[in-house]
Structure 1
Amino acid sequence: MQEVSVIQLKSLMDEQPSLHLIDVREPDERAAFNIGGTFLPLGKIMSFELDTIESMKDEPVYVYCRSGKRSLQACMMLEQAGFTDVHNVTGGILAWQSEIEK
């Protein structure tokens, strides 16, 4: 697993609009603020309900949550499930809102 800052992620998103983002927050958090990506709450990842992202297994995936802690857990679980290029977005949406959405 690698870590990526929100600044780095924003740059990657600008260069590659089809970037694989995975949002592991809860529905109410996603409704309040959303930067896109596949919605897959941490609970589903913990129970290995990964059908919706199985096609991303050998591609770079960028996982985010509110602050970076749940996404770190999700990244570890995805690696256990065989995902080969997993990136944790450090600081999560809180960092995005303070550094990107100024």
Structure 2
Amino acid sequence: MRKLTIILSILVIVTVGIVVFTSKEDGITQIDVETLQNRLENEEITLLDVRELDEYEGGHIEGAVNAPLSSLNETELPYAKDEPIYIICRSGNRSAQAAELLQDRGYTEIYDVSGGMIAWEQR
């Protein structure tokens, strides 16, 4: 039991370290699903789900807005450029692409949810 506690503690420290050190100074910050859940419970946030419509309709986080990456180039988002935007997809790949796209458009506070819906469903 003691070894398990030590291993779990090390994993938590490593995870926090990864989040801190992979946070970019360029306006895109990686967060985990536990942080997202906390913010959903305690703040009113804008969460974009960049999966395709059929994926979104198959199950999504309550309050998430579907904005598929495939059409995000043609879509003008109705959010202020300095408003925090949280982005999630299935595994984290498309959300990273969407985060870079939004950054290129001038959004300054972007949170990319690492692990995506896979991690969300496993929490």
TM-score (norm 2): 0.73
Query: Contact 2:52–2:70 at 8 Å: present in 1 too?
Result: no
Give me the whole-angstrom Cα distance separating, in 2, the residues matched to 1:21 and 1:56: 14
Tell me what 1:67 maps to. Answer: 91
Matched length: 95
* Identical counterparts, % of pairs: 36
Q: Give the 5 Å matches for 1:1-102.
A: 1-16=28-43, 18-35=44-61, 36-45=63-72, 47-50=73-76, 53-99=77-123
Query: Structure with the greater relative contact order (CA < 8 A, sep ≥ 6): 1 or 2?
Result: 1
Q: Which runs of 4+ in 1 moved over 6 A?
A: none
SS at 1:95 equivalent: helix
CA distance in 2, matches of 1:10, 1:20: 13
Instruction: State the shift of 1:44 in Å.
Output: 1.8
Gaps of 5+ in 1: none
Structure 2 unpaired stretches of 5+: 1-27
Corresponding letter in the other structure for 1:88? D
Q: Structure 2 counterpart of 1:72, which letter?
A: A
Taking the aligned partners of 2:74 and 2:95, their CA distance within structure 1 comes to 15
Distance in 2 separating the partners of 1:44 and 1:74? 10
- 2:13 is aligned to none
Counterpart of 2:51, as a letter, is R
CA distance in 1: counterparts of 2:57 and 2:70, whole angstroms? 17
Q: Deviations over 1:1-27 (max 9, x none)?
A: 1001000000010001x2110010011
Larger Rg: 2
